[in-house]
């Protein structure tokens, strides 16, 4: 396409063009002049973004159905947003992961931070799971898949259509096999000395949360000869890592029976089954019951889902994080460790730490903060976009 054939998206006079020039990648619907022509731009189409004085700022992907109406793709107006462009982004991301990890199990593309806005790709050996969480990526999915196979050599590519992000973009929730054959069983993934079972077709998100790998590694150092409680455990993330670190026992609590079945299989394949126990139930109820029974553990980990996924949910979410801390702190033995995690975009580190400390204080405990963890390096942070650094893990000694 020639530049003259691209539609135009123009900023309002009061929009923060300076932030966009300095790298902020999102333009919200209330920052744009929305006229009939803008509203008629098809979801996923490429447009030229201009400031209010008609100076071009770059090529953007447009979705009139989304609160994030434009996502910056390339500052170069001459860029061709095609398979070759996508392959170059993938190759750059692949070079980083190939340097960091001995085995091909990692997040390959972390959306804006890897230059592919809204796109998440997790790799499980010869299988890759793609979440195209933006309209432009849905539209160019065949090119993304072809470039992915070309750059990495994976033989199977799955599309995951689940998740809140796609619904916010007005996209379907359908999953599909794009290339190859879907695994007929959970895929074993070895991390931190433990084997995790990833359900790539029916599990949460892409099947496994790679983002906690470095935090689980740190937690494992605290677990030698320890009794470990892992709440909101999913497929046994911190519990199995603790057992690999020499824990006496690990109790994993989750509300999902399929996730706990995968945790049990992971424990079996790791050789930990005699020290592992799974318990299905509501996390808050389980924490309350354990407290009422006077049970204590040397290491307690709580890694809940996002209680504050958006700004309107922030205050309610912070109260939930405080409640988790208040219920978990009494379960930690004297001199033991409490690990509290948040994957909420809206709750920044200071707010999450404050809520956690209020809960610990309300439980009558005193805490040392010994470590603050984030997502691993396969989840790079885009410095201009705070949302790309969503994960926080606070390690307390009580």
For residue 244, the tally of other CB atoms under 10 A from its CB is: 22
Would you state the pLDDT for residue 298? Answer: 98
Residue 147 CB-density burial (10 A; 0-12 exposed, 13-18 middle, 19+ buried): buried
Would you state the pLDDT for residue 265? Answer: 97
* C-alpha distances in Å from residue 81, one per residue of 14, 47, 72, 136, 208: 29, 11, 12, 10, 30
Catalytic residue of the set 70, 223, 341, 343: 343
Measured distance CA(142)–CA(172) in Å, rounded: 16
Q: What is the pLDDT of residues 104-136, one digit of tens each?
A: 999 999 999 999 999 999 999 999 999 999 999
Per-residue pLDDT at 11 exceeds 60: yes
Q: Are residues 137 and 241 in the same domain?
A: no
The pTM for the full model equals 0.94
Would you state the pLDDT for residue 309? Answer: 85
Would you state the pLDDT for residue 218? Answer: 98
Q: Are residues 20 and 149 in the same domain?
A: no
Q: Are residues 171 and 267 in the same domain?
A: no
Q: Are residues 305 and 205 in the same domain?
A: yes
Q: Are residues 310 and 168 in the same domain?
A: no
Q: What is the pLDDT of residues 365-382, one digit of tens each?
A: 999 999 999 999 999 999
Q: What is the pLDDT of residues 17-60, one digit of tens each?
A: 999 999 999 999 999 998 888 888 999 999 999 999 999 999 99
Per-residue pLDDT at 143 exceeds 90: yes
Per-residue pLDDT at 1 exceeds 60: no
Look at strands 26-28 and 68-74 and give their pairing: antiparallel
Q: Are residues 205 and 292 in the same domain?
A: yes
CATH of the domain at 166: 3.30.750.80
**Of 129, 159, 179, which residue constitutes the final position of a domain?**
179
**Of 155, 179, 203, which residue constitutes the final position of a domain?**
179
> Could you confirm whether 252 is annotated as catalytic?
no
Average pLDDT value over all residues in the chain: 95
Short-list 388, 377, 391, 344, CA closest to 106:
377
Quickly state the pLDDT bin for 4 (edges 50, 70, 90): low
Q: Are residues 222 and 355 in the same domain?
A: yes
Number of compact structural domains in the chain:
3
Would you state the pLDDT for residue 2? Answer: 59
Q: Are residues 239 and 297 in the same domain?
A: yes
Q: Are residues 174 and 192 in the same domain?
A: no
CATH of the domain at 67: 2.30.130.10
Range of the domain at 143: 83-179
**Of 48, 74, 100, which residue constitutes the final position of a domain?**
74
Q: Are residues 130 and 268 in the same domain?
A: no
Q: Are residues 93 and 174 in the same domain?
A: yes
Total number of residues shown for the chain: 398
Measured distance CA(368)–CA(122) in Å, rounded: 35
**Percentage of residues of the chain with pLDDT beyond 70:** 99
CATH of the domain at 279: 3.40.50.150
Q: Are residues 323 and 198 in the same domain?
A: yes
388-398 as b/e, with b when 16 or more CB fall inside 10 Å? bbbbbbbbbeb
């Amino acid at each position: 396409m020639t530049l003259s054939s691209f539609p135009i998206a123009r900023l309002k006079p009061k929009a923060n063009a300076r932030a966009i020039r300095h790298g902020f990648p999102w333009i919200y619907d209330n920052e744009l002049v929305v006229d009939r022509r803008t509203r008629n731009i098809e979801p996923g189409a490429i447009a030229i973004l201009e400031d209010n004085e008609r100076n071009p700022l770059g090529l953007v992907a447009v979705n009139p159905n989304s609160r994030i109406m434009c996502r910056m793709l390339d500052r170069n107006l001459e860029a061709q947003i095609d398979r070759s462009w996508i392959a170059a982004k993938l190759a750059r991301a692949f070079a980083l992961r190939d340097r960091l990890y001995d085995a091909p199990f990692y997040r390959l593309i972390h959306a804006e931070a890897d230059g592919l806005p809204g796109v998440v790709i997790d790799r499980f050996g010869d299988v890759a799971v793609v979440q195209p969480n933006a309209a432009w990526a849905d539209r160019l999915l065949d090119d993304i898949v072809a470039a992915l196979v070309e750059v990495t050599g994976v033989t199977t590519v799955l599309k995951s259509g689940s998740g809140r992000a796609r619904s916010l973009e007005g996209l379907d929730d359908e999953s599909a096999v794009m290339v190859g054959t879907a695994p007929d069983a959970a895929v074993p993934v070895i991390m931190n000395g433990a084997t995790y079972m990833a359900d790539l077709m029916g599990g949460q998100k892409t099947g496994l949360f790679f983002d906690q790998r470095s935090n689980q590694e740190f937690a494992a150092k605290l677990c030698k000869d320890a009794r470990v409680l892992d709440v909101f455990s999913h497929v046994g993330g911190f519990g199995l890592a603790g057992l690999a670190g020499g824990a006496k026992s690990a109790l994993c609590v989750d509300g999902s029976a399929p996730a706990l079945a995968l945790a049990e299989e992971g424990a079996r394949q790791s050789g930990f089954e005699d020290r592992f126990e799974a318990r299905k139930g509501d996390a808050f109820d389980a924490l309350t019951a354990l407290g009422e029974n006077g049970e204590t553990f040397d290491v307690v980990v709580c890694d809940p889902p996002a209680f504050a996924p958006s700004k309107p949910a922030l205050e309610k979410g912070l109260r939930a994080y405080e409640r988790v801390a208040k219920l978990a702190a009494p379960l930690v033995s004297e001199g033991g460790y409490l690990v509290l995690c948040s994957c909420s975009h809206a709750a920044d580190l200071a707010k999450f730490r404050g809520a956690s400390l209020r809960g610990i204080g309300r439980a009558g405990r005193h805490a040392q903060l010994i470590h603050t963890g984030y997502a691993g390096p396969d989840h790079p942070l885009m410095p201009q976009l705070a949302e790309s650094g969503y994960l926080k893990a606070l390690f307390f000694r009580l």
